[in-house]
């Protein structure tokens, strides 16, 4: 949501400043220049990236416009879910949660947390780790190495669309120059004509450069930066789960494992110990907790 507001502020400030200088707003409306820049940028994106990254860029842009899902409430719900899960393991044994891990959508615990089930990266990260733990024969150190490797692969995949969009953003000023040069070519062809006509061609050429720089530093660049922050927040979320699972594999009590993972939560979203304890031990339904 804030991304949309930010883009609006960028354009509003530029248009307002232009009008304050007695500029004619219609001069900035150059569909041909925009088509050249946007079309060329889209073409370079298609040339440089496979279809999966193009889909990831679209998904990442939609996520950027929605805002970060990794809030304090999300972390609290995750801690409560894992506390319930670890308590079940402590009371019934590791084999009792085998079906929860194999079919998380049918799990009596996991099905109460749809955002966890819908986040296939986090769901698979947890379930695959627990599935390996149930199989047995793997030391906690080796499990930690597997989780770290999983996180590295996932983070690399998450940053690929970010790098692709950043490359396009860096190319936009150059494509703006291309549009401006084409405008100059048209202007040269109009030499000898009315001065007013030549002035329009020159203005259109300059708007090409203006659009390229604006789209780079006012739209594409900030959106790429937003996508990178979301990718980093996803990695931080997986790290919290990694700390929790590792503590569990080492034999820590459920509340100790939860507390260790709470310490790994970034400061901006970290609940206090009292908030975490009350959230884990109370009887509030997940849907009501989410609304709160």
Per-residue model confidence as pLDDT tens digits over 25-65: 888 888 889 999 999 999 999 999 999 999 999 999 998 88
Q: What is the pLDDT of residue 137?
A: 79
Flag whether pLDDT at 76 surpasses 90: yes
Q: What is the pLDDT of residue 152?
A: 95
Q: Report the mean per-residue pLDDT for the chain.
A: 89
- Rounded Cα distance between 176 and 34, Å, is 9
Flag whether pLDDT at 242 surpasses 90: yes
Q: What is the pLDDT of residue 288?
A: 43
* Burial category of 50 from C-beta neighbours within 10 Å (exposed 0-12, middle 13-18, buried 19 and up): exposed
Write out pLDDT tens, residues 97-108.
Answer: 889 899 999 999
What mean pLDDT comes out for the span 224-234? 94
Q: Kindly indicate the confidence band of residue 121, based on its pLDDT and cuts at 50, 70 and 90.
A: very high
b/e map 168-188, b = 16+ CB within 10 Å: bbebbbebbbbbbebbbeebe
Domain boundaries, the chain: 31-291
Write out pLDDT tens, residues 124-177.
Answer: 999 999 998 888 778 989 999 999 999 999 999 999 999 999 999 999 999 999
Flag whether pLDDT at 83 surpasses 90: yes
Q: What is the pLDDT of residue 26?
A: 84
Query: With pLDDT > 90 as the criterion, what percentage of the chain qualifies?
Result: 64
Six-digit token string for 115: 């955002």
- Rounded Cα distance between 120 and 132, Å, is 18
Query: What pTM was computed for the model?
Result: 0.86
- Rounded Cα distance between 167 and 189, Å, is 34
CB 205 within 8 A of CB 184: yes
Q: What is the pLDDT of residue 75?
A: 95
Q: What is the pLDDT of residue 291?
A: 43
Q: Kindly indicate the confidence band of residue 184, based on its pLDDT and cuts at 50, 70 and 90.
A: confident
């Amino acid at each position: 949501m804030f991304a949309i507001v930010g883009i609006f502020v960028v354009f509003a400030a530029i248009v307002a400043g232009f009008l304050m200088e007695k500029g004619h707003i219609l001069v900035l409306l150059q569909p041909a220049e925009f088509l050249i820049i946007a079309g060329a940028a889209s073409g370079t994106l298609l040339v440089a990236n496979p279809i999966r990254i193009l889909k990831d860029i679209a998904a990442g842009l939609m996520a950027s416009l929605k805002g970060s899902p990794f809030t304090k409430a999300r972390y609290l719900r995750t801690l409560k879910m894992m506390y319930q899960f670890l308590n079940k393991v402590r009371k019934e044994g590791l084999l009792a949660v085998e079906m929860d891990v194999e079919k998380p959508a049918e799990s009596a615990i996991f099905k109460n947390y749809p955002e966890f089930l819908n986040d296939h990266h986090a769901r698979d990260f947890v379930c695959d780790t627990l599935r390996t733990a149930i199989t047995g024969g793997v030391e906690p150190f080796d499990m930690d190495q597997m989780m770290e490797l999983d996180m590295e692969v996932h983070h690399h995949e998450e940053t690929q669309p970010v790098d692709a969009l950043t490359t396009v953003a860096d190319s936009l000023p150059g494509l703006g120059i291309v549009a401006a040069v084409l405008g100059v070519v048209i202007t040269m062809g109009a030499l000898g004509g009315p001065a007013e006509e030549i002035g329009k061609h020159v203005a259109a050429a300059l708007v090409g450069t203006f659009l390229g720089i604006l789209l780079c530093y006012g739209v594409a660049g900030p959106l790429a930066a937003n996508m990178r922050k979301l990718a980093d927040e996803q990695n931080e979320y997986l790290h919290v789960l990694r700390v929790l699972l590792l503590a569990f594999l080492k034999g820590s009590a459920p509340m100790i494992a939860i507390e260790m993972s709470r310490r790994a939560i970034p400061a901006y979203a970290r609940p206090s110990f009292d908030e975490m304890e009350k959230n884990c031990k109370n009887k509030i339904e997940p849907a009501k907790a989410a609304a709160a």
